[in-house]
Chain A
Amino acid sequence: MSSSGKILGGVVVLWLVLIALLHATLNLHLFEPKQSGTNAPFRVGFIPVTCHLTCPVTDFINKQMKGKSEFEPIRFQGFPELKEAFISGYLPATFILAPMAMRLREDGVPIKIVYLGHRDGSAMVVHRESLIYRIEDLRGKKIAVPSRFANQRLLVVKALKEHGVPLDSVQIVELAPPDMPAALYSRSVDAITSGEPFMGQAEMEGYGRVLYLTKDVWPNFISCVLAVREDAIRNNRAMVQRLIDGISKSGKWLDEKMDHRMEAAEFVGQNYYNQNPELLRFVLSKPPDRVKYTNLLVRKNDFLEIEALAKETGVLKGKVTFADYADPSFVLSEESIEPYAWDYKK
C-alpha cells in the first residue's frame, strides 16, 4: 500500500473512532454512571398524542418518586413504525389503536389488550372558512384519518351512517397526525380527525373549527389501548402488573384535579412530546371532558361495538373474539385504583 493510502486509512479510522466516541457520549450516554438496578428497562411504545399521555406521566412520576423508572418510554412518529417494533419483539408493551391491536391478533401477533389509554379525546376539525357545519355537509368531502385501523375512521363511518350520508360519497385518506394541521391549513383536505393535540392545534391557531368532539358522537369513545405481548405476560407478569398499576394510577392522578393536568402539560410537553405546553394545556382543559383518563377498565361490551363496526368496514374479518385479544385480569375494579400521591415541584 502506498504511503498516502496508509495516511488516508489512518485518517478514516481516526474519524470513525472520534465520531463514535462523540456519538456515544452525546447521544447514547454510554459513559454516564449506570442507574442502580441494572435490569434492562421494560420498553413501552407511544406516539406524542394525548391518547398516550399516561405513558410519559407514569415514567415521569416514577422517576421523581423513586429516582428511576423501570419502564423506558420509546417515542414513535407514527403507527406503522410502532406496530413494526412491536411485531419484531423490540417493544414488549405499547400504546396502540384499538382496532389495530385487534387486527394484529387476527394476523397471529401474540398481543393482548390489558388496559385502555383514555376515553374520548378526539375531534373532527374543518377549515374555519369552509361551509361544513353539520355532519351531512361532509358529503363529497375529503376526510383525513390517522390510519385505516384508527377508531377515528370507525367513528366517521358511524357518524355518517347515523346522519344518512352514504360512505362512498366521502373520500377518506390516511395521514400522519402531525401532518394534519398543515394539510387543513393548505386545504388539501376538508376535514381532519385524529388524537389531540393536533386537532387543538388547528383550532388554537385559528384556521380550524371543531365540527364535533368525539364525546358528542360516540360517548366514552376509545381510540388507543395499552397492549402487551403474551410472552411478556407469561414471563414477567409482575412487571406487566406494575406497568398497568402505574398507568392506571397516572390516569387517576390526571383526572384528580385540573392543576395536575396543567402540570402534566408542562413536563410532558417539555420532556417527552416536544410540544408547546400551552397547546397541551388547551386540549386538556377546553372543555375539561375533551379527554378522560378514568373508567379505563377493559370491558367486553365496548369492544363488541368496535368489533361490529370494524367488521362492517372490512378492518376485521371476525376471526378473533374478546377472549383472544384482551386480558382484563390486571385491574378488577375502578375503586381499587388510587391516584399517585405525588405533587409536581418545578
Chain B
Amino acid sequence: MKSKILFPIVVAILFLGLWDAVVIFSKTDIFPRPYQVFLGIVELVQRGLLLKYIVASLFRVSVGFVLAVLVGVPLGLLLGWFRPAFFALNPLIQIFRPISPIAWIPIAILWFHVDDRAPIFLIFLASVFPITVTAISAVQNIQPVYVRAAENFRLNQFDLFRRVIFPACLPQIITGLRIALGISWLVVVAAEMIAVNSGLGYLIIDARNAGKRYDLVVAGMLMIGVIGLMLDLLIRGLERFDEVRWGYSQRD
C-alpha cells in the first residue's frame, strides 16, 4: 500500500526536477520552469478564471459524453443483436469512426455556430463511436448459455435485452465508457479552439494570443492532465459495482 502512494510521489518529484533542470540547462527563456507554471496557476485562481474554465470544460464533456452514452449503448446493443442491421450500418460506422473530431470543426461551426453546442457536438462525436463499437462486440461475444437459458424462460425480446443481454454486456461496456471518457476529455482542447470564450482548451489557445505566456499554456495542460486522472479514477469506481464485478473476477 505504501508503494502505491509513495512511488508516484517520488516519480512526480523526479519529473519536476528533471523538467526544471532541462529548462535551466537549455537556457531557454520561452519555456517555463515548474515554479513559473505554479505561479501561473495561482494567477488564474486569483483572477477567478480557473474554476470558471474547469466548470466550462467539465460541462461540455459531461453533456457530450452522456449524450454519446444514451445514443451509443442502445445502438450498439441493437446492432450487436440484430445481424442484418449490423451488416447494414457497420460499414457506415467504420467510415465515420476514424474521422478526427478536429476535421469536424468547420462543419460544427456552420451547424452550431460558436456557442456551447459546437464543442458538445465534437465531444459527442469523439465518444459515441468507441461506445457503440464496444457495445456491439460485447453483444456479439455474449456466452450462448445465457441466451439459451433466457429462451427456456420464454422471455420476450424486451425482457431479454433488459434482464440478460444488457447485464451480461455491462462489464465490457463499462470498459468502453472508460476509454470513451478519456477520449472526450482528450478532445476538449480541440473542441474549445472554436471561438467559445471559456474552458481549459480555450485557456491554452488564449495564452498564445497573450504573447509570451507559455506558463499558462503549460498550466492548462497540467490541469487537463490532473482532471483527466480524476475522471478516470471516478469511472473506475463503476467497476466495483456487483453488477459489473463478476465480469472482471473471471479474469483473476
Interface positions of A (Cβ within 8 A of B): 2, 4-5, 8, 12, 15-16, 19-20, 22-23, 26-27, 48, 74-77, 80-82, 84-85, 87-88, 90, 178-179, 181-182, 185, 197, 201, 205, 273-276, 279
Contact = CB atoms under 8 A, between A and B. Distances in A.
B209 A48 contact: yes
Interface of B: 30, 51-52, 55-56, 58-59, 62-63, 66, 105-106, 109-111, 113-114, 116, 193-195, 197-198, 205-206, 208-212, 238, 241-243
Contacts of B51: 26
Contacts of B66: 12, 16
A53 to B, nearest CB: 14
A77 B52 contact: no
Contacts of A279: 211
A181 B211 CA distance: 8
Nearest to A198: B211
Contact of B110 (A2, A4, A22, A87): A87
A125 to B, nearest CB: 14
A85 B59 contact: no
B206 to A, nearest CB: 6
A26 B243 contact: no
Contacts of A275: 209-211
Q: Which 9 A-B pairs have the closest CB atoms?
A: A23-B59, A90-B113, A84-B109, A178-B208, A27-B198, A26-B52, A88-B110, A76-B195, A22-B55
Contacts of A201: 211-212
Contacts of A185: 30
A327 B109 CA distance: 27
A85 B55 contact: no
B243 A85 contact: no
B211 A276 contact: yes
A27 B210 contact: no
A43 B65 CA distance: 30
Contact of A22 (B59, B194, B205): B59
Contacts of B197: 75
B192 to A, nearest CB: 10
A26 B55 contact: yes
Given A8-B238, A19-B62, A205 B109 contact: no
A8 B235 CA distance: 11
B111 to A, nearest CB: 8
A90 B115 CA distance: 10
A61 to B, nearest CB: 21
Which of B30, B116, B242 gathers the greatest number of chain A CB atoms within 10 Å?
A: B30
Given A16-B62, A22-B55, A77-B195, A274 B210 contact: yes
A225 B113 CA distance: 22
Contacts of A84: 106, 109-110
Nearest to A47: B209
A61 B67 CA distance: 42
Contacts of B52: 26-27
Contacts of A179: 208
Contacts of B209: 48, 77, 178, 273-275
B181 to A, nearest CB: 12
B198 to A, nearest CB: 4
A6 to B, nearest CB: 12
A40 to B, nearest CB: 13
B109 A85 contact: yes
Contacts of A12: 66
A117 B209 CA distance: 20
A196 to B, nearest CB: 12
A16 B175 CA distance: 21
A205 B208 CA distance: 15
Nearest to A2: B243
11 contacts: A16-B66, A22-B55, A22-B59, A77-B209, A81-B105, A81-B109, A81-B193, A88-B109, A88-B113, A185-B30, A273-B209
Contact of A80 (B56, B63, B106): B106
A77 B205 contact: yes
Which of B52, B66, B109, B116 gathers the greatest number of chain A CB atoms within 10 Å?
A: B109
B195 A74 contact: yes
Nearest to A86: B109
B114 A74 contact: yes
A85 B66 CA distance: 27
A205 B195 contact: no
Contacts of A205: 212
Contacts of A75: 195, 197
Nearest to B48: A26
Contacts of B111: 88
A332 B81 CA distance: 71
A96 to B, nearest CB: 14
